[in-house]
Amino acid sequence: MKIRFPVTLFASILAISILLTSCSSPALPNQAPAVTNSAFFTGHGSIDNAYVIGAHPGESLNLVNSNNQIVQTSKASYLGSAVFNYVIPGSGYSIQSSYNNKVYGTGSFSVMSPTDIPPESFYSSQHMHVGLNYIKMRDGITLAATLRLPAGKTLSDGPFPTVIEYSGYSIGAPGNFLKGLIGIPQKYPAPSSSTVIGSFLAPSLGFASVDLQMRGTGCSGGAYDLFGPLTAADGYDAVQIISSQSWVKNHKVGLVGISYSGISQWFVAATRPPGLAAIAPMSPTNNLYDTGYPGGMYNNGFAAEWIQERIVAAQAAPKGGQEWAKQMIALGDKTCLANQVLHPDTLNVHQIMTQAIHYIPSLFNVRNPSLNAEKINVPVLLASSFQDEETGGQQINLLSYLKNDAHVYSTLTNGTHIDPLGPANITKWLEFLQIFVGNEVPHAVPGFSTLMNLVYQQLTGSATPITLTPMQFVNAKSVSQAKQEFEKSTPRVDVFFDNGGSSVNPGAMQPEWSASFNNWPPKSATVTTYYLGVNGGLTTSNTSQTSDVSYKPVPLLPRTDLPSGNVWANLPPYQWNPVPSGQGIGFITKPLTQDEVVVGPASLNLMLKSTAPDTDIQVEVSEVLPNGKEMYVQSGWLRASDRALNTAESTVLHPSPTFYKSTASPLPKGKFTLVRVPIFPIGFAFRKGSRLRIVISAPGDDTPEWAFDTYQTNGTVTNTVELGGSQPSTLVLPVEAKITPKDPQPQCPSNRGEPCRTYVPESNGG
């Protein structure tokens, strides 16, 4: 069974957005009847929605506006609750129901907009204690929030530098994380391993940590609406409540977390709560559509599995839902029990996921981390992996949207979803939090290295120790000096290479060297064009003679390259297979005469025609070593009908498809058409003597978790690529000509996230 750590969601947002509109009735122009009796249920206003508590199960309910018009209808859940989504903010709303020839109505209430912020007294009047708290949001819903202090400390020992981890996993469970991990019995349930940063690392490193349970999950109240407007508003409220506490140093907090709790930070920070000092997201995603629908194809591997897990976890306890909520209810937690009432109103995103194909701006933009990133004005430390098997390497493009924030620092490395926790980033992470959240001169924490090696052992299964980078800035005379030194010596973009490439400990979370850049994508790169040629050649010069090459786009099996095993292990048992003969085409360079370091996004520009009106394309980039081994580098995907580009965002190196339904179009019959396939960001050093290779095929068999709902052609479709001539097919890469690798060629396999296989030429010779 695969280990599950900070899993993420991504594609879910698409399904949720569509379901929101499908579950909300359109505006109804009919006038509501006159109320004859006061309702026995209650109506409440929230942000862009309204909710009902206390109705009869199955009862028909009407949302009525200030003009006494019915604007939406719904039926009460088995717990007597209902949620009305996409309600226009305003006052004078009420809920009505007709029963036995009588019309029951609630008192009037207001529906808020996201900008309706309570007075500061609303936040400062709430007081928290160590352990499980229930903090009130502006719409009256309470969220579970568990406060943990450094070992042996009490609130009277404060104030403490304080961080928040915010997700929908079992994060609010108030038990001891370490006892739960090793199976020691305890009174209260322990949080899941996916909350390791807030529940374990932060308090172990001297921080007070609040684990905030997302609305509609666990013991938190409300209905689950993944990354809807309430996610940001709840985060704002929580930051302000927590930062107002007397035990919080400087009344400023930071946001931390990996994956789910790495994504949530973008939405909260975009609201600019005054009590927020900085954010430090690891392994987020840039755009949930890109992970749910890579290249416009439904990710029915990881995404489908993750969505189903979220639906199950968000149900009402004790009948369903998260185990820790069931246990708290069994222990007599009446607030947790009462908070389950709206959980049945969780939106069933799974049933409509496969129906949603295109990007819908009105639904997705509010839930788009990239667009939220443009609004962030606090320091950011982003850590990402190029081959992230869950959230995807496209997350690195978040850096492009942080251009309005001068205090941005990033650590990028080859590797998996958990590699941002590795030594390339973790010391910088601690320094960043101590300076920007704690307002302290960085200082070493006793046992830090031992602590992290315990974490690495749990994640990878390897007990071989890993060396952490020593703490810097510890000799600064003041916090101001430490901050200046950090900002001066820490680049906006740090790219680490050959993570795992050690000949002593292959596959260990230990990069071999790094390069620094002032921007993303790096402006220092040389745009290098390779031409796809005859006999599978890949050259830097074009030929005037036109030719073509064909293949059958049959979906590759197995659908993933790791059918079993731990993807975070030092050397996972990858099964990255050659593409079957005739089902793909390959193009390969001659042995390189010098090292070629590639950093940034890339583009495969195909002159393509197909016997079908649409086709799904996958491109793999790899390095073929002199000994015949082939090392995976990166992939790109595109459904050809989604080839229309956003011209404002697209560049020669980064085609940005719109994925709009209105711009999708079939391939013209019998004609070659330009199809630009985006290749996820690359950070890789191709060595002198090796060969750079690409393989073009249908999707499948090159990621450990993602799988694709791709066209099933049964070998009846032929794709043809035009080569040479006035409109050649090309591969465009960003090459850093002045950077030289600092280590020898890593053995194959060794690099994390970059599996190996024996090179087998495709049928066209490449």
pLDDT tens per residue across span 98-156: 988 899 999 999 999 999 999 999 999 999 999 999 999 999 999 999 999 999 999 99
- The residue among 150, 135, 160, 132 whose CA lies nearest residue 201 is 150
Predicted local confidence at residue 28, as pLDDT: 55
Token code pair at residue 648? 């404002």
The residue type found at 364 is: F
Q: Give the pLDDT of residue 363.
A: 75
pLDDT in tens, 553-579: 999 999 999 999 999 999 999 999 999
pLDDT at 341 over 70: yes
Would you state the pLDDT for residue 27?
Answer: 47
DSSP for residue 317: T
Quick one: pLDDT at residue 479? 98
What sign has the CA pseudo-torsion 445, 447, 450, 454? Answer: negative
pLDDT of 181 = 87
Q: Classify strands 616-624 and 629-639 as parallel, antiparallel or unpaired.
A: antiparallel
**What's the pTM value of the predicted model, to 2 decimals?**
0.95
- Cβ partners under 8 Å of residue 371, min gap 6: 365, 401
pLDDT of residue 500 exceeding 70, the answer is yes
- pLDDT value of residue 203: 97
Which two three-digit tokens encode residue 340? 């389950």
Whether omega for the bond prior to residue 655 falls within 30 degrees of 0, making it cis, is no
pLDDT attached to residue 99:
86
Q: How confident is the model at residue 227 (pLDDT cuts 50, 70, 90)?
A: confident
How high is the pLDDT of residue 349?
Answer: 56
Least confident of 343-347, 469-473, 513-517, 554-558: 343-347
- Per-residue pLDDT tens for 356-375? 689 988 777 888 999 999 99
pLDDT for 685: 98
Q: Give Cβ neighbours of residue 23 (< 8 Å, ≥ 6 apart).
A: 85, 347
Q: What is the pLDDT of residue 29?
A: 58
List, in sequence order, the alpha helices (H) in 29-150: 120-124
**How many Cα atoms within 13 Å fall on the side-chain side of residue 746?**
33
CA angle 44, 48, 51 (to 5 degrees): 30
Which tokens hold the place of 757?
């296989």
Q: pLDDT at position 351, please?
A: 54
- pLDDT band at residue 353 using 50, 70 and 90 as cut-offs: low
Q: What are phi and psi of 449, to 5 degrees?
A: -65, -45
Question: 226: pLDDT confidence band, cut at 50, 70 and 90?
Answer: confident
Q: How do residues 12-52 score in pLDDT, each as one tens digit?
A: 333 333 333 334 444 455 899 999 999 999 999 999 999 99
Write down the pLDDT at residue 2.
Answer: 34
Exposure of 122 by Cβ count < 10 A (0-12 exposed, 13-18 middle, 19+ buried)?
middle
Any idea which of 299-303, 348-352, 682-686, 733-737 has the lowest mean pLDDT? Answer: 348-352
Q: What is the rounded CA–CA span in Å between residue 189 and residue 171?
A: 10
**Mode of pairing for the β-strands spanning 276-282 and 42-45:** unpaired
pLDDT tens digits for 443-463?
999 999 999 999 999 999 999
pLDDT tens digits, 688-699: 999 999 999 999
Which residue type sits at 412? L
Q: In one letter, which amino acid is 665? A: S
* Tens digit of each residue's pLDDT (9 = 90 or more) over 165-221: 999 999 999 999 988 888 899 999 999 999 999 999 999 999 999 999 999 999 999
- As a whole-number percent, the residues of the chain with pLDDT over 70 amount to 95
> Among 239, 405, 220, 227, which Cα is nearest to 321's?
220
Task: Indicate whether 288 pLDDT > 90.
Answer: no
For residue 258, the surrounding DSSP H or E stretch is strand 248-258
Find the mean pLDDT for residues 464-488: 96
Q: What is the pLDDT of residue 355?
A: 60
| Domains of the chain by start residue, with CATH | 31-111 (2.60.40.10), 124-378 (3.40.50), 425-490 (no CATH), 526-758 (2.60.120.260)
Q: What is the largest CA-CA distance in the chain?
A: 87
CA distances from 440 to 279, 432, 433, 483, 608 (A): 16, 10, 9, 9, 58
How far is Cα 37 from Cα 324, in angstroms, rounded to an integer?
40
Given this model, what pLDDT does residue 431 score?
A: 98
Q: Which 8-state DSSP code applies to residue 56?
A: P
- Pick 10 or 609 by higher pLDDT: 609
**CA distance readout (Å), 28 to 24, 106, 363:** 11, 19, 21
